[in-house]
Amino acid sequence: MKTTVYTSDKRTHFFKELASIFQDVRKSSFLAYQMAKRDLQAQYRQSFLGFFWAFAPILTNSLVWIFLNSSGTVQVNTGQEIPYILFVVIGTTLWSIFNESLFIPMTSVNGAKGLLSKINFPKEALLIAGVYKMSFNLMLKLILIAVILIIFGILPSAEILLFPVYLMAIILFSLALGILITPIGLIYTDINRFFSTVISFGMYITPVVYAAPRKGIFKTLFDLNPLTYLFTDSRNILTGYPAEHILGMLILGIVSGLVFLIGLVIFRKSMPIIIEKISG
């Protein structure tokens, strides 16, 4: 009698997994678009102020720091010859883009808990839907930056062509981190809260509302933070100053892209465990 032995192949073939992921992404792009469209319509249709809420956190945070600086409560160093209002609005907008990109994988999957255990569909569709929603909000935030530049009569130099590249580096860096923390953050909610707290502190070691210090322990923290160079150059490009860390931005973008691909594979392999945990 012929004996057949079935064994479990727990090995991960990285490139095969990536090929399978990209196939599912292509197949589920329409589903992701419909999910993002539904969520955006629900978000803004049921809001009296509509699109204003895309700008509200940025404007609120900016106004707080503008008031503290103008009242003399806090002496802020910008390190540049640009109005502080312009400095802080650009910095806060970039931070909002980074923060939303970081948590969009987790919030997208977490918001679909009811579907995960009931409907079989490519789970990458949730990530794509999150990216669609983030992209829509990104366009609104870029409009805010354009308006503030026009108000202050700032005419960017030809280096403005580099700004989309820096913006993509910021988004890719945050998505790479976000996709890595998503599996554990979905299973353990306290880990999610921990990361939220750490990221909130991260704003104060990033040139969001003030420039990097010239000495002391905070200078070291700023120097170790990759966002320091991305934010500084992005603001410089928008306000007519030269970019100073182009090579570093390219290296960080490449590393972030590789980490993101690894994170996609980890996400795919961990989804059965995640569905079991959050549905139980």
Residue 8 in this model has a pLDDT that exceeds 50: no
pLDDT digits (tens, 9 = 90+) for 79-133: 667 888 999 999 999 999 999 999 998 888 887 777 777 777 788 888 999 999 9
Q: Is 5 domain-assigned?
A: no
C-alpha closest to that of 131 among 164, 175, 188, 161: 175
Q: Count the domains in the chain.
A: 1
Domain annotation covers residue 142? yes
Is 150 within a domain?
Answer: yes
Residue 38 has pLDDT above 90, yes or no: no
Task: Tell me the whole-structure pTM to 2 decimals.
Answer: 0.87
Residue 112 lies in a domain: yes
> Would you say 92 and 209 are in contact if contact means Cβ atoms under 8 Å apart?
yes
- Distances from the Cα of 109 to the Cαs of 38, 89, 112, 129, 215, in angstroms? 15, 30, 5, 10, 42
Residue 139 lies in a domain: yes
Tens digit of pLDDT for each residue in 41-75? 877 776 656 667 777 788 888 888 888 888 777 77
pLDDT digits (tens, 9 = 90+) for 191-220: 778 888 888 888 999 999 988 888 889 889
User: Is 1's pLDDT higher than 80?
Assistant: no
For residue 2, is it within any domain?
no
Q: What does pLDDT average to over the chain? A: 84
Do residues 145 and 237 make contact, with C-beta atoms less than 8 angstroms apart?
no
Percent pLDDT > 70 in the chain is 90
**pLDDT score of 12:** 60
Q: Which domain holds residue 175?
A: 48-279
Residue 261 lies in a domain: yes
Q: Is residue 32 part of a domain?
A: no
